[in-house]
Structure 1
Amino acid sequence: MTDSSPSRTVVVLAGGISHEREVSLRSGRRVADSLLQRGHRVIIREPDASLLSYLAETSPDIVWPALHGASGEDGSLRALLDAQGIAYVGSESAASQLAWHKPTAKVIVARAGFATPDSITLPRETFRELGASQVLGGVVAHLGTPLVVKPAMGGSAQGVTVVESPDDLPRAVVDAYTYGETALIERKVLGTEVSVGVVDTGEGPFALPAVEIVPRSGVYSYEARYNAGETQFYTPARLDDRAAAAAADAALGIHVALGLRHISRVDLIIDADGSPWFLEANVLPGLTETSLVPQGILAAGLNLGEVYEALGEAAIRDAA
Structure 2
Amino acid sequence: MGSPRRRRRRKGCLAPERCRGGLRTPRKGIRCGAGGPPEQERRVGLHRKKERFCLIALHGGWGEDGTLQAALEMAGIPFSGSGHAACAFAMDKTAGKALFREKGIPVPKGIEVSRRGADEESLSGACLEGLLERSGKLVVKPCCSGSTVGVSILDGSGRLGEALEEAFRHDNRVLVEEYIPGREITVAVHERQGVPVCLPVIEIRPRGGFYDYGSKYTPGGSEYRVPAPLEESVRKAVEQAALGAYEALGCRAYGRVDLRLDDDDLPVVLELNTVPGMTATSLVPKAAAAAGISFGEFLGMVVESSLSR
Q: Secondary structure at the match of 2:33?
A: strand
Pairing 1:234–2:225 present = yes
The residue number in structure 2 matching 1:162 is: 153
Contact 1:136/1:170, CA 8 A, preserved across alignment = no
Cα displacement string for residues 98-157 of structure 1 (whole angstroms, at most 9, x for unaligned residues) = 111001111100110111010011111141xxxx23124534233123011111001111
The residue number in structure 2 matching 1:142 is: 130
The residue number in structure 2 matching 1:250 is: 241
The residue number in structure 2 matching 1:29 is: 17
Q: Secondary structure at the match of 1:32?
A: helix
The residue number in structure 2 matching 1:24 is: none
Could you tell me which amino acid in structure 1 is paired with residue 120 of structure 2?
S
| C-alpha distance in 2 between matches for 1:176 and 1:105 | 19
| C-alpha distance in 2 between matches for 1:173 and 1:7 | 51
Cα displacement string for residues 36-57 of structure 1 (whole angstroms, at most 9, x for unaligned residues) = 1447432231244976995540
| C-alpha distance in 2 between matches for 1:84 and 1:197 | 29
304-313 or 278-287, larger mean C-alpha shift: 304-313
Contact 1:38/1:305, CA 8 A, preserved across alignment = no
Could you tell me which amino acid in structure 2 is paired with residue 236 of structure 1?
P
Q: Secondary structure at the match of 1:213?
A: strand
Q: Among residues 260, 263, 275, which one is paired with 1:284 in the alignment? A: 275
What is the Cα deviation at residue 203 of structure 1? Answer: 3.1
Q: Secondary structure at the match of 1:94?
A: helix
Greater helix content: 1
| C-alpha distance in 1 between matches for 2:188 and 2:201 | 7
The residue number in structure 2 matching 1:296 is: 287
The residue number in structure 1 matching 2:11 is: 10
Q: For residues 52 and 251 of structure 1, do their structure 2 counterparts lie closer, same or farther at Cα, with a shift above 3 Å needed?
A: farther
Q: Among residues 211, 224, 248, which one is paired with 2:215 in the alignment? A: 224
| C-alpha distance in 2 between matches for 1:297 and 1:118 | 32
The residue number in structure 2 matching 1:176 is: 167
- Scaled by the length of structure 1, the TM-score of the pair is 0.87
Q: For residues 103 and 94 of structure 1, do their structure 2 counterparts lie closer, same or farther at Cα, with a shift above 3 Å needed?
A: same
Contact 1:62/1:315, CA 8 A, preserved across alignment = no
Could you tell me which amino acid in structure 1 is paired with residue 231 of structure 2?
D
Q: For residues 123 and 283 of structure 1, do their structure 2 counterparts lie closer, same or farther at Cα, with a shift above 3 Å needed?
A: same
| C-alpha distance in 2 between matches for 1:141 and 1:176 | 21
Q: Secondary structure at the match of 1:91?
A: coil
Q: Secondary structure at the match of 1:36?
A: coil
| C-alpha distance in 1 between matches for 2:306 and 2:120 | 49
Q: For residues 186 and 162 of structure 1, do their structure 2 counterparts lie closer, same or farther at Cα, with a shift above 3 Å needed?
A: same
| C-alpha distance in 2 between matches for 1:11 and 1:263 | 19
Contact 1:61/1:316, CA 8 A, preserved across alignment = no
Contact 1:11/1:45, CA 8 A, preserved across alignment = yes
What is the Cα deviation at residue 200 of structure 1? Answer: 1.2
What is the Cα deviation at residue 202 of structure 1? Answer: 3.1
Q: How many residues align?
A: 297
| C-alpha distance in 2 between matches for 1:67 and 1:241 | 35
Identity, % of aligned positions: 34
Q: Unaligned regions of 5+ residues in structure 1, if any?
A: 1-5, 15-27
Could you tell me which amino acid in structure 2 is paired with residue 36 of structure 1?
R
174-183 or 195-204, larger mean C-alpha shift: 195-204
The residue number in structure 2 matching 1:270 is: 261
| C-alpha distance in 2 between matches for 1:295 and 1:280 | 19
Cα displacement string for residues 234-260 of structure 1 (whole angstroms, at most 9, x for unaligned residues) = 011122111111111111111001100
Q: For residues 134 and 49 of structure 1, do their structure 2 counterparts lie closer, same or farther at Cα, with a shift above 3 Å needed?
A: farther
The residue number in structure 1 matching 2:4 is: none
Q: Secondary structure at the match of 1:200?
A: strand
The residue number in structure 2 matching 1:19 is: none
The residue number in structure 1 matching 2:113 is: 122
What is the Cα deviation at residue 199 of structure 1? Answer: 0.3
Contact 1:56/1:84, CA 8 A, preserved across alignment = no
The residue number in structure 1 matching 2:3 is: none
